[in-house]
């Protein structure tokens, strides 16, 4: 519970804060129309409230457990991330389809797991992000500002490497073609993603550390 409760809290806070940026980014990435009103910007929040807290509630305890077995941190991060993704992918798919106005009725079981293989590839970013984050964390004082800074730096580095796979995953989840994608399109929405990712991961790790310290 010392890991699960902070993880759930972190997921809920980050979902509420970042849902509008998620909606803007995914619609821009997939060339769908964007409306700047609250109803549009909070599309998919119900599925996000399930997917994101559940993801972190699986990830954090598992990562800690694997790390205690002397498995290298990058491997522990990747295995934990892929495990959490496997269980929560249907909710991520539903969330994205609602955010982009796609039909979610009469979906077959296989459709709920669209993009899972690209997700496993995208998750390799944790092999970069988490070790960089923990390295910076070990070198700095444990406070909110440093947590925010360390998270921002580690996420930016990882995103620059793996963002094209995220674009492919987004198109697969929506049932769009991935053929004849121009190189520049692989990075479409990356600026919005980074703008979103910094407060998202900062709110995740800051809330996680804050609640954990309270407990």
Domain boundaries of the chain, sorted by first residue: 4-214
Question: Can you tell me the mean pLDDT for 44-63?
Answer: 94
* 54 has a pLDDT exceeding 80: yes
Helix, strand and coil in the chain, % to nearest 5? 75, 0, 25
* 1 has a pLDDT exceeding 70: no
Q: What is the pLDDT of residues 101-130, one digit of tens each?
A: 999 998 999 999 999 999 999 999 878 888
Closest CA to 169 of 180, 178, 182: 178
Sign of the dihedral through C-alpha 58, 170, 46, 24 = positive
Residues 6+ apart with CB under 8 A from 114: 93, 172, 173, 175
String of DSSP letters for 12-73: HHHHHHHHHHHHHHHHHHTT-----SHHHHTTTHHHHHHHHHHHHHHHHHHHHHHHTTT--H
Domain 4-214 part of CATH 3.40.50.1820? no
Residue pair 207/9 in contact by the 8 Å Cβ criterion: yes
* 137 has a pLDDT exceeding 70: yes
Q: CB count, 10 Å around CB of 52?
A: 27
What was the pLDDT predicted at 203?
Answer: 86
């Amino acid at each position: 519970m010392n890991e699960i409760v902070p993880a759930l809290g972190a997921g809920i806070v980050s979902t509420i804060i970042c849902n509008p940026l998620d909606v803007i980014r995914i619609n821009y990435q997939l060339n769908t129309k964007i409306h700047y009103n609250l109803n549009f910007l909070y599309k998919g929040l119900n599925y996000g409230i399930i997917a994101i807290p559940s993801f972190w509630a699986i990830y954090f305890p598992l990562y800690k457990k694997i790390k205690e077995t002397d498995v290298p941190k990058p491997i522990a991060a990747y295995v934990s991330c892929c495990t959490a993704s496997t269980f929560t992918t249907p909710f991520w798919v539903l969330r994205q389809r609602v955010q982009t106005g796609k039909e979610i009725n009469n979906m077959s079981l296989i459709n709920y797991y669209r993009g899972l293989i690209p997700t496993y590839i995208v998750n390799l970013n944790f092999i970069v992000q988490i070790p960089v984050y923990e390295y910076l964390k070990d070198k700095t004082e444990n406070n909110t500002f440093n947590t925010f800074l360390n998270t921002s730096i580690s996420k930016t580095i990882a995103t620059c490497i793996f963002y094209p796979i995220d674009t492919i995953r987004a198109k697969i989840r929506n049932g769009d073609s991935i053929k004849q994608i121009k190189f520049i399109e692989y990075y479409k929405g990356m600026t919005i993603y980074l703008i979103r990712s910094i407060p998202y991961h900062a709110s995740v790790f800051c809330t996680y550390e804050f609640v954990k310290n309270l407990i």
